[in-house]
Amino acid sequence: MGLFRKITSISTAGMVDFRSDKERIARNTKLNGKQLKRQNKLLAEQNRLLAQQQDGA
């Protein structure tokens, strides 16, 4: 994607952004989705442990 943009970015020493706004948004959205999944897993594990602890008490 954006081969011309990437070549221009390299040849102008970064004066032109390497990624377009669309690419940047897509990348950030993907990373945020992964982070939310990780957080949900941790919360589920914490809830499971808390429920176990309450059952034992």
Residue 38 has pLDDT above 90, yes or no: yes
How many Å is the Cα radius of gyration of the chain?
21
Per-residue pLDDT averaged across 26-54, rounded? 94
Residue 29 has pLDDT above 90, yes or no: yes
Residue 14 lies in a domain: no
Residue 54 lies in a domain: yes
What is the number of structural domains in the chain?
1
The structure tokens listed for 45 are: 């594990």
Which amino acid is located at 30 in the chain?
K
Task: Report the phi/psi class of residue 14: left, alpha or beta, with left for phi > 0 and alpha for psi in -120 to 50.
Answer: left
Per-residue pLDDT averaged across 39-48, rounded? 96
Domain that holds residue 25: 20-57
SS3 state at 7: helix
Residue 25 lies in a domain: yes
The pLDDT value given to residue 45: 96
Long-range pairs for 6-11: beta carbons < 8 A, 24 or more residues apart: none
Confidence of residue 46 (pLDDT cuts 50, 70, 90): very high
Residue 52 lies in a domain: yes
